[in-house]
Amino acid sequence: MRVWFLSAGLALICMAQNAAAGTVLIVGDSISAAFGLDTRQGWVSLLEQRLKHEGFTDTVVNASISGDTSAGGQARLPALLVEHKPAVVILELGGNDGLRGLLPTQLQQNLASMIDNAKASGAKVLLLGMQLPPNYGVRYTEAFAKVYSDLADEKKIPWVPFFLQGVGGNPELMQADGIHPAVVAQGKLLENVWPTLKPLL
């Protein structure tokens, strides 16, 4: 009888762990798609390794596409939500909107729509903020950065103020194009995300 209770207890623990496991869906652009690198070197791959190392059983789905904008992500998200049924959605978009000089108001509308759709599906949302180089002008760069803080406040979601904190603007951590993080920066990107992501798992 004692053995039976022990076996039943172990089975319940396993069931609880499986029930807690979910899918982390990352919808981003070239930074999360590991542009210029072997994808196994990117921060998303490092995230998968961190999850396993810390005993999480969550599955990571990287739906990031180089060159994608917030409009592209908005168009792709509904099908991704249906296909993967994620427990957590990480939004890493907007950099290409800014580099193209698109209106911050449109970026905000697109990201707001994505946040609403993800939350409506039952997923938790983590927003990764972006900032632009100062050569885009103070007025535009401030309006761009404010999009993320405003959305985090309005939608009551966790966010990382600047995903590239400690990386952007540092030539030693960037690839030759000065836009995409190098291999040595990928661990830093993960560390920028992990403290805010872990409580959502």
Catalytic residues, by residue number, are 30, 177, 180
CA distance 59 to 20: 11
Determine whether 148 is exposed, middle or buried from the number of CB atoms within 10 Å of its CB (0-12, 13-18, 19+): buried
Half-sphere exposure of 13 (CA within 13 A, CB side): 6
Residue 174 · residue 181 · CB < 8 Å: yes
Residue 193: Cβ within 10 Å count = 23
C-alpha distances (whole Å) from 53 to each of 21, 29, 46, 64, 72 are 15, 26, 10, 24, 33
Cα(first)–Cα(last) distance of the chain, in Å?
36
